[in-house]
Structure 1
Amino acid sequence: MEAHIWKGIFPALTTPFTQHDTLDLPLFNNQIQAQLNAGVHGIIIGGSLGEAAVLSLQEKEQLLQTAINTNKNKVPVLLNIAAATLKEAFETVKMAEANNANGFMLLPPMRYKSDARETTYFLQSVAAATNLPIMLYNNPVDYGTELTITILNQLAKHENIIAIKESTRNVTNLTVLKNNFGKRFALFCGVDTIAAESIIMGADGWVAGLVNAFPRETVVLYELIQQKRIDEAIALHRWFLPLLELDIHTKLVQYIKLAQQVTGLGTAYVRSPRLMPEGAELENVLNLIKKCVANHPGLPNV
């Protein structure tokens, strides 16, 4: 597989659990197959949406093994590295390499808010520890550390850092990155609500969340923009937006899993400290999802 060809729809997969709080690997296999059948272009395991913070390294290995076996080398399979220490990051790299991962998504250090020098050192150290390609994850809104142009200029020296997941929630930052780096990095939008705008402005791909419940709709929206069928893309995006807004909620994991339950692609089980919604909250979210499903506009051929 050509590691440098990273573009298109890369689902940030949720992690399915059983009612007994164990990994539901048969369901995970089915979820991956549904994504591949819909035409996604890559897969990301153990991201924020995948509840990475509450997964053990052994569980991440089980998820990765399942994905590799199901994928059969069709698309790149990336494992997220969200580590508090370099030791933890290196252990994740070693495990993923041993299980034939195709690359990594990489966050600045967790829990401690690193300054620019510390952030650069951490990310450079991880990049130097592997030959596999890396997608940096820039999400200062949720994690408090921004990958600035100054930091990225240092990281650009590492040839295996090939992509950036841009999640500042500011669509103009995509153009800032393009102006500074040209085609040095593949740029992925990491925020569902502004993905269409970002792709129109030149993003190479979309690390998507609601794709977990609506895989074909996500792929079709991307392809319509690629084919410059903008009016059709706008119409689909307007239907999709109330669902996409679930991706920017604090409880995005719970809400997207509810959407998967409604569309038959998952269950609502989450791992503590998260709890499944109940009462009015549950009713409101389910009503939104079911209303959108009922008003589905149909999909054009792409």
Structure 2
Amino acid sequence: MKVAWQGVYPAVTTKFTNDDKLDLKMFETNIQAQLAAGVDGIILGGTLGEASALLEDEKDTLVSATVDMVAGKVPVIMNIAEQTTKAAIIAAEKAKKNGASGLMMLPPMRYKADDHETVTYYKAVANSTDLPIMVYNNPVDYKIEVTLDMFEQLAECDNIQSVKESTRDISNITRMINRFGDRFKILSGVDTLALESLFMGANGWVAGLVCAFPKETVAIYRLQKAGRHEEALKIYRWFLPLLELDINPKLVQNIKLAEVATGIGTENVRAPRLALSGAERKHVLQIIETGIKTRPELPDYLNL
């Protein structure tokens, strides 16, 4: 299935049962809520998906099961976060075999590769597959920045098509557009900068709080793209305290707690992560409860 790299792409959480197995029933409940809200793709195995805690067979199951669940409505994207080029190439092969339509790729994990090593890593994987690739550029959390000069080299690979822009520097969107035009699609990867990024020309939004609030997220995107900026901004201002739950070391626990509150998830996380407790839990619940109580009425955003 062709990947347009525009619109809202939820980086979905992975659901677990109380005995720490994949909870595909609740996972499908969430996926169907995303589809009903009008999302444009599904991303598996990102930070929110607890990728580092998933077993290899679980990743295979998630991809194939999600492909079945979406039934061709939207593309399924698998994240690659590996320590070696060899493992990344194998992961790309498995993602395609299991039905993924595209890949999101982090730079090499653990080892802080230099620019040349990072470019070589991306090119090796890109040249090993025909799946389209979105570069995940997040130097704040993963310590390697994919610079504009590096993108110049990556542009040689036709299937490196987009970037999840998570540098936290809004002006980087303008730099990308000034240098490359529309060669790379740009998707905001930071919830609290998403609308600002769309105003600056980003094509889409890889979203986190969409996991709990899919309709509001898609409404913001579609209203902005339709030129109804004030309506988008009003919803975004309501959303911001919730979006800030995504820029936190415990974003997985925060967002899963929000999914419970909206009825499309469970709180179960995989150790060493633990569910929130005490004052921390009370604080997050207060933000979620306030958001739900003041939830805005949405226009008919699906028919703009």
TM-score by length of 2: 0.97
Deviation at 1:210, TM superposition (A): 0.2
- Check whether the contact 2:5–2:187 (CA below 8 A) recurs between aligned residues: no
Rounded Cα–Cα distance in structure 2 between residues aligned with 1:63 and 1:23: 8
Q: CA deviation digits over 1:87-134, x for unaligned, max 9?
A: 211221121111121010001000111110111111111111100100
Partner of 1:250: 249
| Contact map agreement 2:12 2:44 (CA 8 A) in 1 | yes
**Unaligned 5+ residue runs, structure 1?**
none
- Post-superposition CA distance 1:165-193 (Å, at most 9, x none): 00011111111111111000110000000
Residue 152 (structure 1) shift: 0.7
Structure 1 partner of 2:2? 2
Check the 8 A contact 1:57/1:92 in 2, yes or no. no
| Aligned pairs for 1:96-111 within 5 A | 96-111=95-110
Aligned to 1:142, the other structure's residue is in SS state: helix
Give the match for residue 20 of structure 1.
19
Distance in 2 (CA, whole Å) between partners of 1:251 and 1:115 is 29
SS in 1 for 2:141: helix
Partner of 2:240: 241
State the 1:2 CA deviation. Answer: 2.8
1:132 is aligned to 131
Q: In structure 1, what is the Cα distance between the partners aligned to 2:147 and 2:296?
A: 40
**Aligned equivalent of 2:269:** 270
Residues 186, 203 of structure 2: 8 Å contact kept: yes
Q: Does 2:170 align with 1:201?
A: no
**In structure 1, what residue type is equivalent to 2:110?**
R
What letter corresponds to residue 87 of structure 1 in structure 2? K
Q: Deviation at 1:162?
A: 0.7
Q: Give the C-alpha shift of residue 215 in structure 1.
A: 0.3
Shift in Å, 1:32? 0.9
One-letter identity of the residue aligned with 2:62: L
Structure 2 CA distance for aligned equivalents of residues 161 and 206 of structure 1 = 18
CA contact (8 A) 2:137 2:145 kept: yes
User: What is the SS of the residue equivalent to 1:187?
Assistant: strand
Aligned length: 301
Equivalence map 1:1-302=2 (5 Å) = 1-3=1-3, 5-302=4-301
CA offsets, 1:141-166, max 9 Å, x none? 00000000111111010000111000
SS at the partner of 2:49?
Answer: coil
Q: Secondary structure at the match of 1:225?
A: helix
Contact 2:42 2:76 in 1 (8 A): yes
Q: Distance in 1 between matches of 2:7 and 2:51?
A: 23
Percent identity, aligned pairs only, is 52
Rounded Cα–Cα distance in structure 1 between residues aligned with 2:266 and 2:191: 21
Matched to 1:183, the amino acid is: D
Paired with 2:240 and 2:38, the residues of 1 have a C-alpha distance of: 21
Q: How many Å separate the matches in 2 of 1:293 and 1:30?
A: 19
The residue type paired with residue 253 of structure 2 is Q
Distance 2:242 2:261 in 1: 12
SS at 1:258's partner residue? helix
Partner-residue secondary structure (3-state), 1:62: helix
* 1:32–1:70 contact (8 Å) kept in structure 2: yes
Q: Is the Cα–Cα contact under 8 Å of residues 188 and 206 in structure 2 kept in the other structure? A: yes
Conserved? CA contact 1:189–1:206, under 8 Å: yes
Tell me the distance in 1 between the aligned counterparts of 2:32 and 2:296.
24
Tell me the distance in 1 between the aligned counterparts of 2:284 and 2:154.
40
